[in-house]
Chains A and B, each alone.
Chain A
């Protein structure tokens, strides 16, 4: 009887992931058996089984799972984005290809991104096991309904365009919208309720706020995630969150060994002369940048070189790109003074951004002929992707060898997503951010470069240990 009883309890451990079983399985089994013996039971109760199922499945939603799912989401986004880019540049169109790309980019990618976020937040203690599991199930249904809603609308639109009566899935558009709205509201309510409870809000006020915000936000979020770039951004955010969740876990474990390294790598901030130089470069960049914006918008009315509006815009963008170069220098000095990363990991990504600016300038030399612009714009997009990859890789880097590979994978995929999904749309607008960022650097850059190093992501012990040493030197 005892062996049979042991087996009945041992079977419950199958719900748990292997690493958890290896670390805690024998201790949990021992406790369950002691309790059963004391209560003279020959097997687990129903509630005990249910608790094991919830806890075991919940334990599977850990930081490692979050990283794996996020990487899958990023891969899917890259594949869908590459398909879209290939179709756009070659002009080839296939209905099934389009359906597949849409399903992956606006159905699979946001779902995987959301599941990864849920796993990260469960691992960080924001969600209980039951809530995290419920969220995964409800979010899956909501995203499936959201995708079906989009397909129904698309089919109905095509039918109306062709002048024929709508049929099949398109007839279910309204009930699909309602069902997607309800499930989306449920998923958001489960999320917000947990987050508001953490903020110790009044129970009634929190319930009202959760209800209203969920009902209003559900359709907005649903529509936003039907766009491939937005879904890709969600996947990027999920990957970053998962990477930092795993990093936090490992860093906590490795804190004593890491402490001297961190203490050594934190710089004491920039000197007074360098801070003056930062402000000067920021000011130059801001003045030239605002002039570039004014020239792009009004140049054709007063400049003899701008023969029409298009030429004026092109010349204005070229001015903005040149104005961006001292800004990149100032940004590099600020970041080098604040972060504990190697100089190559600060100046390397900024150098890639400078190359992206150069390629954009070459592209605009051929404006407005898109065919002449496209190769250089692609190059600009690729340099931006390199900058993103280089920037993320050391910052996501985890404490041990295998995790370092994962961090590099996430970073490379993020860069590829930018190049394939967002780059062609976002890169041309980047020059217009130059005067805004330069103005901020001209005003606050000196202070930022002198301030204490960023302590985000470090445990309080490490922060205390690392910040007390350079404090006096900085002031």
Chain B
């Protein structure tokens, strides 16, 4: 399901990494593709068409906005930047992931003992 900026819908992986790519810097389409692949260490590899479908959705939800166009080597480039709403949504998502990671680490620190007691790991 697509994230709509309402905080009631989980953010998808492509949405998360696109917003990460745009956080703090405006980028054009191909730069976003490169940045999402690099930042996610290859976990998210978008096609150009998928990227533009996602960008269209994020723009409609007010999380990003176009920020100028230019022609380089005869090819059109459109730049995008994250909006205040997009930054707030991303910050909320990061906070939620951090909380999940904290709980996960705490549980993993204790769980092996429990597993051994119940004989699960034997």
A194 interface hit (Cβ, 8 Å): yes
B97 interface hit (Cβ, 8 Å): no
1/0 contact string of A36-78 vs chain B (CB within 8 Å): 0010000000011001101110100000000000000000000
* B47–A48 CB distance below 8 A: yes
Q: Which of B2, B48, B49 contacts A128 (CB 8 A)?
A: B2
* A51–B49 CB distance below 8 A: yes
A464-B29 Cα distance, complex, nearest whole Å: 35
Q: Which of B49, B51, B56 has the most CB of A within 10 A?
A: B49
A193-B67 Cα distance, complex, nearest whole Å: 35
B1 interface hit (Cβ, 8 Å): yes
Which residues from A are CB-within-8-Å of B49? 12, 28, 32, 48, 51-52, 54-56
1/0 contact string of A195-207 vs chain B (CB within 8 Å): 0011110000000
* B1–A198 CB distance below 8 A: yes
Which residues from A are CB-within-8-Å of B47? 47-48, 51
Stretch at the interface among B4-12, B16-24, B111-119: B4-12
Q: Which residue on B lies nearest to A127, using beta carbons?
A: B2
* B30–A200 CB distance below 8 A: no
A463-B9 Cα distance, complex, nearest whole Å: 24
Q: Which of B10, B51, B56, B57 contacts A31 (CB 8 A)?
A: B51
A199-B76 Cα distance, complex, nearest whole Å: 39
Interface residues on B, range: 20 to 34
A56-B78 Cα distance, complex, nearest whole Å: 19
- Is chain A's binding surface mostly helix, strand, loop or mixed? helix
* A30–B75 CB distance below 8 A: yes
Q: Which of B48, B51, B57 contacts A125 (CB 8 A)?
A: B57
A47-B45 Cα distance, complex, nearest whole Å: 12
Q: Which of A12, A30, A32, A198 contacts B8 (CB 8 A)?
A: A198
Q: Which of A12, A27, A47, A52 has the most CB of B within 10 A?
A: A27
Which residues from A are CB-within-8-Å of B57? 125
* A125–B50 CB distance below 8 A: no
A58-B60 Cα distance, complex, nearest whole Å: 15
1/0 contact string of B84-119 vs chain A (CB within 8 Å): 000000000000000000000000000000000000
Provided the pairs A30-B77, A194-B1 are in contact, do residues A200 and B8 lie with their beta carbons within 8 angstroms? yes
Which residues from B are CB-within-8-Å of A98? none
* A34–B30 CB distance below 8 A: yes
A307 interface hit (Cβ, 8 Å): no
Interface residues on A, range: 20 to 34
* A48–B53 CB distance below 8 A: no
1/0 contact string of B67-81 vs chain A (CB within 8 Å): 001000001111000
* A198–B53 CB distance below 8 A: no
A30-B73 Cα distance, complex, nearest whole Å: 10
A24-B50 Cα distance, complex, nearest whole Å: 13
A28-B78 Cα distance, complex, nearest whole Å: 9
A198-B69 Cα distance, complex, nearest whole Å: 34
Cβ of A84 to closest chain B Cβ, rounded Å: 41
A24-B77 Cα distance, complex, nearest whole Å: 10
A129-B69 Cα distance, complex, nearest whole Å: 26
Cβ of B59 to closest chain A Cβ, rounded Å: 11
Provided the pairs A26-B76, A30-B77, A125-B57 are in contact, do residues A197 and B1 lie with their beta carbons within 8 angstroms? yes
A80 interface hit (Cβ, 8 Å): no
* A27–B78 CB distance below 8 A: yes
A313 interface hit (Cβ, 8 Å): no
* A125–B75 CB distance below 8 A: no
A129-B47 Cα distance, complex, nearest whole Å: 15
* B4–A30 CB distance below 8 A: no
A171 interface hit (Cβ, 8 Å): no
1/0 contact string of A179-199 vs chain B (CB within 8 Å): 000000000000000100111
* A51–B50 CB distance below 8 A: yes
Which residues from B are CB-within-8-Å of A28? 29, 48-49, 52
* B1–A55 CB distance below 8 A: no
Which residues from B are CB-within-8-Å of A54? 49
A239 interface hit (Cβ, 8 Å): no
* B52–A125 CB distance below 8 A: no
Which residues from B are CB-within-8-Å of A125? 2, 4, 57, 60-61
* B29–A27 CB distance below 8 A: yes
* A55–B60 CB distance below 8 A: no
B82 interface hit (Cβ, 8 Å): no
Q: Which of A26, A31, A58 contacts B48 (CB 8 A)?
A: A31
Q: Which of B28, B52, B57 has the most CB of A within 10 A?
A: B52
Q: Which residue on A lies nearest to B76, using beta carbons?
A: A26
A33 interface hit (Cβ, 8 Å): yes
Q: Would you mind naming 28 contact pairs between A and B with Cβ atoms under 8 Å apart?
A: A27-B78, A28-B49, A29-B76, A30-B29, A30-B77, A31-B30, A31-B51, A32-B49, A33-B75, A35-B33, A35-B48, A38-B30, A48-B48, A48-B49, A54-B49, A55-B50, A55-B53, A56-B49, A58-B53, A125-B57, A125-B60, A128-B2, A129-B53, A197-B9, A198-B1, A198-B4, A199-B8, A200-B8
Known contacts A38-B30, A197-B9; 19 additional CB pairs below 8 A are A26-B76, A27-B77, A28-B29, A29-B75, A30-B29, A30-B30, A30-B76, A31-B33, A31-B48, A31-B77, A34-B29, A34-B30, A51-B50, A52-B49, A55-B49, A125-B60, A129-B53, A198-B1, A200-B10
